[in-house]
A and B are shown apart, each in its own frame.
Chain A
Amino acid sequence: MPQDVHTYFQNKARENDALFQVEIDVTNQCNANCPFCFQGDHRTCADGELSLQQMIQLLDELREMGTFYIGFSGGEPFARKDFLEILREAKKRHFRVSLITNAMLLTKEKIDALADMNIDHINVSFHSVVLETYLKCFGIQEKNCYYKALENIQYMLQKNLSVGIAITVTKYNVEDIPATTKFFTDLGVKERDFGYNLLAKGRREINDLVPSKEQIAKNNAILTKSVDPQREESLICTAGTISCSIDAYGNVYPCTFFNTPAGNIHETPFQNIWKQSHLFKLIRSFQDSMFEKCSSCEIKKYCHICLVSNMNETGNVFKPSDIYCISRKARYGSCAQ
């Protein structure tokens, strides 16, 4: 096999319009209120969410389609009472399963259940080790949530679960990144399992929260650590070509940041949406060379063209925003030198 197996299959999926990975939001309910959340204002009601039975049907369809990887998210996935049941059904079908959570609603019993069912990876959003910053990032006041999340991360590590720390980088927490990274590294989180996510616009304005160029430059050494020099051949992100996102109401998007769905599984069978929707077909027709600014950029080997950031920030799918380019260059610029 010419490349490593995983890359070979990813590339093969791109050539065949095959759905390699899916994100499923199991609920829109959330116990936090992050000021930057791309989901917009959090909802507290479960009305209209896919039932457990509908989730199981979707998992069966994904298995039929050959999907390898499912990432569960929300809202806060553990705000949904039957989330463990959904995970169990996904593992029963032998998907690679990961989830992202704020870990505040977890208990020892739930973590034991995650370990028993062999969940492959758990990402915990923990935006700062500094208590005040943490609360500000999550838009909450209860200090107890911070301690609860920490206790749960420690217990997950003790249970030998694969734990990642997701830090969404804003002007509030960017200065704390070295301390937060050191704290969790000392607890046993592996270097490769830190994710520093730069802000993207969804249903919320984020301009006021984006860190300054100077702030990012100061923390460049840490941020670039998460840069993976191995990449697929295409410069364009995977959204709509080998991956998609399904929200709690059955809307199907190229990725979770998109505001307009390609279809809804209550109205159209999922496989038809994936294969035939105009939005997905349109995305699959894009070539790297159509993105004039990106195809000649010095960091193109490290950066991805993020279709949704282009759409949401400039209104032109082929044009990245200045904020996008500045923050990516601050982050990846040193790799290109």
Chain B
Amino acid sequence: MLNKEIVFGSVAGETMILNTKTGTYYTLNQQGTGIWNLYYKGKTIREIKQYYADLYPESAEAIDQDVDSFFAELKENHIITE
């Protein structure tokens, strides 16, 4: 779930996230924005991994790791809560 204190906007495939309590900004590149949009629309982490694995079946393992570390970073920065 997104932290209640997070606000965000996207321009041309890049995303700006602001933690309104700490005033800290984060940015996501095109790939990160793709994952972020799926998550915002309610897809679970598992579904997101599956979505990318279907698109790039040969890289399923790397996708798994990349998506995990993406969400670990979001958690570490208190952008998501679980």
Residues of A within 8 A of B (CB): 1, 4-6, 9, 12-13, 15-16, 18, 20, 66-69, 94-97, 118, 120
The answer to whether A68 and B12 have CB atoms under 8 Å apart is no
Give the contacts of B11-59 with A (CB-CB under 8 A): 11-12, 14-16, 18, 20, 25, 27, 40
Chain B hits for A5, CB < 8 A? 16, 25, 27
6 of the cross-chain contacts (CB-CB < 8 Å) are A5-B16, A9-B14, A9-B16, A18-B11, A68-B7, A96-B18
The answer to whether B11 and A20 have CB atoms under 8 Å apart is yes
Size bracket of the B interface: 10 to 19
Q: Does B70 contact A (CB under 8 A)?
A: no
Which residue of B12, B18, B20 contacts A12 across the interface (Cβ within 8 Å)? Answer: B12
Residues of B within 8 A of A (CB): 2, 4-12, 14-16, 18, 20, 25, 27, 40
Chain B hits for A12, CB < 8 A? 11-12, 14
Chain B hits for A15, CB < 8 A? 12
The answer to whether A118 and B4 have CB atoms under 8 Å apart is yes
The answer to whether B9 and A9 have CB atoms under 8 Å apart is yes
Which residue of A13, A20, A66, A94 contacts B7 across the interface (Cβ within 8 Å)? Answer: A94
The answer to whether A16 and B20 have CB atoms under 8 Å apart is no
The B interface is mostly helix, strand or loop, or mixed, namely strand
The answer to whether A1 and B27 have CB atoms under 8 Å apart is yes
Tell me how many residue pairs across A and B have CB atoms closer than 8 Å.
49
The answer to whether B20 and A66 have CB atoms under 8 Å apart is no
Chain A hits for B16, CB < 8 A? 5-6, 9, 68
Q: Whole-angstrom distance between the alpha carbons of A67 and B7 in the complex?
A: 10
The answer to whether B27 and A18 have CB atoms under 8 Å apart is no
Chain B hits for A6, CB < 8 A? 16, 25
Which residue of A4, A13, A120 contacts B20 across the interface (Cβ within 8 Å)? Answer: A120
Chain A hits for B20, CB < 8 A? 96, 118, 120
Q: For residue A66, give the distance in angstroms from its CB to the closest CB of chain B.
A: 4
Which residue of A16, A68, A97 contacts B9 across the interface (Cβ within 8 Å)? Answer: A68
Chain B hits for A97, CB < 8 A? 7
Most chain-B Cβ atoms within 10 A of its Cβ — which of A13, A66, A69?
A66
Q: Whole-angstrom distance between the alpha carbons of A95 and B10 in the complex?
A: 11
Q: Whole-angstrom distance between the alpha carbons of A118 and B20 in the complex?
A: 9
Q: Whole-angstrom distance between the alpha carbons of A218 and B9 in the complex?
A: 41
Chain B hits for A94, CB < 8 A? 2, 6-8, 40
Chain B hits for A95, CB < 8 A? 7, 9
The answer to whether B11 and A13 have CB atoms under 8 Å apart is yes
Q: For residue A11, give the distance in angstroms from its CB to the closest CB of chain B.
A: 9
Chain B hits for A118, CB < 8 A? 4-5, 20
The answer to whether B25 and A68 have CB atoms under 8 Å apart is no
Chain A hits for B27, CB < 8 A? 1, 5
Q: Whole-angstrom distance between the alpha carbons of A96 and B16 in the complex?
A: 11
Return the chain A residue nearest B20 by Cβ.
A120
Chain B hits for A120, CB < 8 A? 7, 20
Chain A hits for B6, CB < 8 A? 94
Q: For residue B21, give the distance in angstroms from its CB to the closest CB of chain A.
A: 8
Q: For residue B13, give the distance in angstroms from its CB to the closest CB of chain A.
A: 9
The answer to whether A9 and B7 have CB atoms under 8 Å apart is no
Q: Whole-angstrom distance between the alpha carbons of A82 and B15 in the complex?
A: 31
Q: Whole-angstrom distance between the alpha carbons of A304 and B17 in the complex?
A: 27
The answer to whether A67 and B9 have CB atoms under 8 Å apart is yes
Q: For residue A15, give the distance in angstroms from its CB to the closest CB of chain B.
A: 8
Q: Whole-angstrom distance between the alpha carbons of A221 and B2 in the complex?
A: 43
Most chain-A Cβ atoms within 10 A of its Cβ — which of B16, B25, B40?
B16
Which residue of B4, B5, B11 contacts A9 across the interface (Cβ within 8 Å)? Answer: B11
Chain A hits for B7, CB < 8 A? 68, 94-97, 120
